[in-house]
Structure 1
Amino acid sequence: MTLGVLSTSKPKPANINEAVQKARDAFNRGVTKPIEWRRQQLKNLLRMYKENYNAMVDVLQKDLRRSKTEAILLEVDYLINDLANTLHNLDEWAKPTRPSKGIVNILDDVVIFNDPYGVVLIIGAWNYPLQLLLLPVSGAIAAGNAVIMKPSELAPATAKFIAETVPKYLDNDAIAVVEGGPEETTELLKNRFDYIFYTGGTNVGKIVYAAATKYLTPVTLELGGKSPVYIDNTVDMEVTTKRILWGKFVNVGQTCIAPDYILCTKEVQNKFIEHAKKILKEWYGEDPQKSPDLCRIITSRHFSRLQSLLDASKDKVVIGGKTDAQDKYISPTIVANVSPDDKIMEDEIFGPILPIVPIENAYEAIKFINAREKPLVLYVFTLNANVRQSITDNTSSGGMCINDVMMQMGVDTLPFGGVGHSGMGAYHGKTTFDTFVHKKSCLWPLPTLFGC
């Protein structure tokens, strides 16, 4: 995800303790538990999306200069479709389940109840400021929890929209929005929550995790890392190049599952660069800065970080490399013949810079990947079944996608989450609901001839 350095901005203050206590009181009164309440809140949230469709597109344009197509595809419609699926399955997901039982308990009732945790804190991220906050919020509500949500202050137009709009549609006793920066986040984390869901960088993720230990609060941490791409010479190089470039440069690389770097032979590297030159010109024109389809870097601080990476690799830039600090613009950039110890290989890039590290074969790629922190996603482009299986069996990552990038996010039956430094826990589809419930086991022995 993001590098996770908290902003020093000073947004609106909030009465945090009061908001948390109000939510807890609502949960303790049983407000959030009835299925009817949950369904009504989810319907209201869906109505909010539909009635504010254009406003949601507008705030994304203001914060990230995101095109309408990207805003609709990656956030607005994504939220609508996910919520419609949740509403459709709510009764089935929420009802108690009865697992199989042995002969000893054949006459007993064995039940697993889906108990809401209580008061849930959800901290969103700036790069997809609507989706990464509101999608887990809908799952927490569906599970019967009270919710405190904290939008990212680095996407101020979106944060303002959420703070002003959500209270008009959802139950203000049980669901609250807290605006602010690091000071407010720190204050929030002093409170006792029953579950914390955080999306962002590993550095802040560690702070959230440490705060959760005070009360042994369970957490989901959706972080990030350097997601590698392996390419061999069996694939259609034009199709492969298009897919990787789209995944890398959508939202100008500010995506936690964006391809971070490529591992391939020098022969494949040369073919990739040759196709990339044509494709990028076709997509963004002679001057990508004038393209309406290219977002901007979120802040000047993030721009400066990316500029320093470019400066350190300027002799290896083969495509792009142009920047404009005032516009927070960095052109789609490819850096070739990168060494493992180059600065650009130290941390997640989170920007429109794509390094290529030459290797000899899949075995060397596996060794390279395993020598580093476990990535959020591993992408493999090959038509060789043995290579595909070898990489799958001998690496660890949050998820994988074969011969495409990012498309796994569109499959709601696939849990999404990291492992190790790329995060813990998962969500999407039913997994989102399951994240926010405690599976309470219950044995209910039936009366026997010898009494109860």
Structure 2
Amino acid sequence: MTMQLDPHTDLSTISGIVANLRHTYDSRTTRPLAWRRQQLQNMIKMLDENEEAFLDALKTDLGKPMVEGFITDIAFVTGEIKLMLKNLNKWNEVEKVPTPLVAMPAKSVLIPEPLGVVCVIAPWNYPVQLLLVPAAGAIAAGNTVIMKPSEVSPTVSAVLARLVPKYLDTKAIALIEGGVPETTELLAQKFDHIFYTGNGKIGRVVMAAAAVNLTPVTLELGGKSPVIIDKSANIEVAARRVAWGKWLNAGQTCVAPDYVLVDASVEDKFVNALRTSITDFYGANPHTSDSYGRVVSPRHFDRLVTLMNGGTPIIGGESAAADRYIAPTVLGNVNLDSPLMQE
């Protein structure tokens, strides 16, 4: 399903790209609210005018159903940007604050100021949302931005690389493509803030690189996300919500329900309700459903199939390497020390 794309930015150009962004920031181009507003409006325009291209790319890379792709990677982003536009003036107002006694009779105010050059490194699971929302926030605050989409979703990366320079100010907003070499070179540059979404292993690399220049970071690294089902719960409603949250994007969501702690007295009832919810959402055979996505890459497919050996399938368990399909699966008899519970 994934196109054989291998996009890369020339390593020798990355330092120059960042230097140009620094020059633009120092020129105060990004300070006026009118400039920020225009860039945010252009980002919405980019998504609106190229919705089909983005949805097709999401389908190619992740097998995302069109409705799911629209909700999570298009409408979510435009909604966030519209919120920024609505509050742009308010968020940039000078605020009076109390003056410490030792500074009397001075007056104190809090003046919102941009940081400088911001780097946004995005993951592959929501490759539009998790790149553009942090970038939009940085732009709204008056920064210049360099974006790095994930190479694991190469079709989306290629669409972004084509459209971002067309719609946004190239002197202040840049995008580079590539994998480990390009990211390593990017992190060797000096930034004023780094926003990274992904796994903990790479998060440590990002933090170590940022520490060289004492650069502040925002790391969104996910977790294990347990769900507790008490015997007093509405089991049918709980099962439906767990099923929706878990198998949206074929389970590839950092805050998706990961494991369930259920009162033994309602365990069977909950499992049966979960099975019913899966059938309601994806039909008797999710493999043929046009509402169920796919694992992003063969490497991730193999990793997940191996992890599934850590338990006994209660629901699902089927997989197909040819199209990276893993059925909605519930495992029982899971050892707490198994890799399944550690990743």
Once the two structures are TM-superposed, the CA of residue 140 in structure 1 deviates from its matched residue by 0.3
Aligned partner of 1:328 among 321, 324, 327 = 324
Q: What CA distance in whole angstroms lies between the structure 2 residues aligned with 1:11 and 1:45?
A: 22
2:149 aligned with 1:151, yes or no?
A: yes
Contact in 2 for aligned 1:10/1:181 (Cα 8 Å): no
Q: Deviations for 1:22-54, whole angstroms, at most 9, x for unmatched residues? A: 101101111111111111111111211211122
Three-state SS of the structure 2 residue aligned to 1:309 is helix
Q: What CA distance in whole angstroms lies between the structure 2 residues aligned with 1:318 and 1:81?
A: 38
Three-state SS of the structure 2 residue aligned to 1:98 is strand
Q: What CA distance in whole angstroms lies between the structure 2 residues aligned with 1:107 and 1:58?
A: 62
Aligned partner of 1:341 among 308, 329, 337 = 337
Superposed counterparts of 1:39-438, under 5 Å: 39-101=37-99, 107-313=105-311, 316-347=312-343
**Greater relative contact order (CA < 8 Å, ≥ 6 in sequence):** 1
Three-state SS of the structure 2 residue aligned to 1:120 is strand
Once the two structures are TM-superposed, the CA of residue 155 in structure 1 deviates from its matched residue by 0.6
TM-score by length of 1: 0.72
Q: What CA distance in whole angstroms lies between the structure 2 residues aligned with 1:104 and 1:204?
A: 45
Q: Deviations for 1:61-93, whole angstroms, at most 9, x for unmatched residues? A: 111111111111111011111111101110110
CA RMSD after TM alignment: 1.4
Q: Deviations for 1:271-302, whole angstroms, at most 9, x for unmatched residues? A: 11111222212221221100001100000000
Q: What CA distance in whole angstroms lies between the structure 2 residues aligned with 1:235 and 1:277?
A: 17
* AA of the residue aligned to 1:323: S
* AA of the residue aligned to 2:26: N
* AA of the residue aligned to 2:173: I
Once the two structures are TM-superposed, the CA of residue 184 in structure 1 deviates from its matched residue by 0.0
* AA of the residue aligned to 2:84: T
Contact in 1 for aligned 2:310/2:335 (Cα 8 Å): no
* AA of the residue aligned to 2:91: W
Q: Deviations for 1:345-391, whole angstroms, at most 9, x for unmatched residues? A: 121xxxxxxxxxxxxxxxxxxxxxxxxxxxxxxxxxxxxxxxxxxxx
Once the two structures are TM-superposed, the CA of residue 311 in structure 1 deviates from its matched residue by 2.5
Number of equivalenced pairs: 337
Once the two structures are TM-superposed, the CA of residue 237 in structure 1 deviates from its matched residue by 0.3
Task: Report which stretch shifted further, 242-251 or 71-80.
Answer: 71-80
Aligned partner of 2:7 among 11, 26, 30 = 11
TM-score by length of 2: 0.95
Residue 363 of structure 1 corresponds to none
Q: What CA distance in whole angstroms lies between the structure 2 residues aligned with 1:27 and 1:342?
A: 49
Contact in 1 for aligned 2:147/2:176 (Cα 8 Å): yes
Contact in 2 for aligned 1:197/1:220 (Cα 8 Å): yes
Percent sequence identity over matched residues?
44
Q: What CA distance in whole angstroms lies between the structure 2 residues aligned with 1:239 and 1:216?
A: 47
Q: What CA distance in whole angstroms lies between the structure 2 residues aligned with 1:336 and 1:312?
A: 9
Once the two structures are TM-superposed, the CA of residue 103 in structure 1 deviates from its matched residue by 6.7
Q: What CA distance in whole angstroms lies between the structure 2 residues aligned with 1:13 and 1:283?
A: 41
Contact in 2 for aligned 1:63/1:298 (Cα 8 Å): yes
* AA of the residue aligned to 1:322: E
* AA of the residue aligned to 1:336: G
Instruction: List runs of 5+ in structure 1 lacking aligned partners.
Output: 1-8, 348-452
Instruction: List runs of 5+ in structure 2 lacking aligned partners.
Output: none
Three-state SS of the structure 2 residue aligned to 1:286 is coil
Contact in 2 for aligned 1:212/1:219 (Cα 8 Å): yes
Three-state SS of the structure 2 residue aligned to 1:114 is coil
